[in-house]
Structure 1
Amino acid sequence: MKNENTDQGVLEIWTPEEVAQALDKHEIALIDVRTPQEYMFEHIPGALLFPMSFFDAAHLPSQEGKRLVFYCGSSVRSGKMAQKAMAAGYSPMAHLEGGFGNWKKSGQRYVGTEMSSGAPKEMTA
């Protein structure tokens, strides 16, 4: 895990492997801040959808018992939303390094779309 100093405090940047391990152990709530269309096409299993365009930190799940980790396509949007959450008093806060693109590049499993039927399908990169 890396740390980035921001105006809101220290933001943790997790690798895909760290996120996958914590997700498998039910230690985190993973929040996808991409659009509903992006999420429906492909997403990380177990991720909650909270699009950036509707983001309001007051409606985030409690951190009691679980850390919050954000992700988007490349980590730009997730970094911004993590900083918004920190500004609202959430701490510690983390996001996925390199976003969903890096998740797939690292070979992690994800839910994609079966192009012949349009149905969701578990995929591996």
Structure 2
Amino acid sequence: MSDDISPIERDALWDEFHRVVNMTSQELSDWLRTDTAHEDGEELPDQAGTVKGQHVLAILRKRQVDLSDDDLRVMRGVVDTVSAERREDLEPTAGQQNWRYRLMRIGHDPLRPAP
């Protein structure tokens, strides 16, 4: 992806990703651990949550210059998913609990006001 994405497009994707991912890395980490906790025990913190959720968490902890092609692909997917399921203004919206939790697994809490 880096071969076919200009620095301007990369900057725009970075900004858009951080606009739609409205949870901090700590909040996302906590949510992923909570979401995957079971009566039998909970997963190790670095393994909690979905693969995509863990990847979003890793991206949140990176500097823009350290992004890989895979990071850019995941960022685009997160932006596309949130954009497809939310209004453009990202105003707080209540919905089905499973819908909210699914979006929270990729760092977007639909009940949180836009920054």
With normalisation by structure 2, the TM-score equals 0.28
- What TM-score comes out, normalization by structure 1 length? 0.27
Question: 1 or 2, which has the higher helix percentage?
Answer: 2
Structure with the greater relative contact order (CA < 8 A, sep ≥ 6): 1 or 2? 2
Which structure has the highest strand share of the two?
1
